[in-house]
Amino acid sequence: MAENLLEVKNLKKYFPVKAGIFKKTVAHVKAVDDISFAVKEGETLGLVGESGCGKSTTGRTILRLLEATAGEVIFEGKSVMDLDKKAMRAIRRDMQIIFQDPYASLNPRMTVADIVGEPLDIHKLAKNKKERNEKVREILENVGLGAEYMHRYPHEFSGGQRQRIGVARALAVDPKLIIADEPVSALDVSVQAQVVNLLQDLQKEYGLTYLFIAHDLSVVKHISDRVAVMYLGKIVELTDKHELYSNPKHPYTQSLLSAIPEADPKKKKNRIVLEGDVPSPVDPPSGCRFHPRCPKAFEPCSVKEPEFKEYGDGHFAACHLLDK
Partner 1 sequence: MEWQEVVKRLLQNKISLLGILIILFFIIVAVFAPWIAPPRDPDDPYLIPRAGWSIEPQPPSDEYIFGTTEGQYDIFYGIVWGTRTAFRIGLIVVGISTSIGIVLGTIAAYYGGWIDEILMRITDIFMSIPFIIATIVLVTILGQGLTNVMIALITFSWMSTARLMRSQVLSVKEDEFVQAALALGANDFRIIFRHIILNTIFPVVIQASMRMGSMVITASTLSFLGVGTPEGYADWGQMISFARNWILGVEGNPLNYWYTLIIPGVAITLFCLSWNLIGDAFRDILDPKLN
Partner 2 sequence: MNKQALVEVKNLKTYFYTEEGIVKAVDGVDYEIYPGETLGIVGESGCGKSVTSLSIMRLVESPPGRIEAGEINFQGKDLTKISEKEMRKIRGNDISMIFQEPMTSLNPVYTVGDQIIEAIMLHKDVNRKEARKQAIDMLKKVGIPLPEQRVDEYPHQLSGGMRQRVMIAMALSCDPKLLIADEPTTALDVTIQAQILELMNSLKESYGMSIMMITHDLGVIAEVSDRVAVMYAGKVVEYTDVDTLFDDPKHPYTWGLMNSIPKLDKDVDRLEAIPGSVPSPLNFPKGCKFNTRCPLAEGKCYDEEPPLEEAAAGHKVRCWRYKDLEEIKKRGERIYEDRGVQK
The answer to whether 99 contacts partner 1 (rule: CB under 8 A) is: yes
Q: Given the DSSP bridges, would you call strands 209-214 and 177-181 parallel, antiparallel or unpaired?
A: parallel
Three-state secondary structure call for residue 196: helix
Q: Which of 119, 160, 183, 292 binds partner 1 (CB under 8 A)?
A: 119
Q: Which stretch in 3-11, 88-96, 235-243, 302-310 sits in contact with partner 1 by CB under 8 A?
A: 88-96
Q: Identify which of residues 96 and 255 has a Cβ nearer to partner 2 in the complex.
A: 255
In angstroms, the CA 74 to CA 5 distance is 8
- The binding site for partner 2 (CB under 8 A) comprises 50-51, 144-146, 158-161, 188-198, 200-201, 215, 217-219, 221-223, 242, 245, 255-266, 271, 273-274, 277-278
In angstroms, the CA 227 to CA 252 distance is 14
The DSSP letter of residue 122 is H
Taking a C-beta distance cutoff of 8 angstroms, is the pair 253, 274 a contact? no
Task: State which of positions 22-51 bind partner 1 (CB under 8 A).
Answer: none
Q: Identify which of residues 45 and 97 has a Cβ nearer to partner 1 in the complex.
A: 97
The DSSP letter of residue 147 is G
Report in angstroms how near the CB of residue 131 gets to partner 1 at its nearest: 18
CA-closest candidate to residue 177, choices 160, 140, 202, 197: 202
58 binds, among partner 2, partner 1, none (CB under 5 to 8 A by kind): none
Three-state secondary structure call for residue 14: strand
Report in angstroms how near the CB of residue 273 gets to partner 2 at its nearest: 5
Report in angstroms how near the CB of residue 324 gets to partner 2 at its nearest: 24
Q: Which of 60, 132, 176, 289 binds partner 1 (CB under 8 A)?
A: 60
* Opening angle at CA 307, ends 305 and 310, nearest 5: 160
Task: State which of positions 125-184 bind partner 1 (CB under 8 A).
Answer: 153, 166, 169, 173
| Alpha-carbon distance values, 277 to 91, 243, 280, 290, 317 (Å) | 40, 27, 9, 11, 22
Tell me which residues touch partner 1 (CB under 8 A). Answer: 60, 63, 65, 88-93, 95-97, 99-101, 104-110, 118-119, 122-123, 153, 166, 169, 173
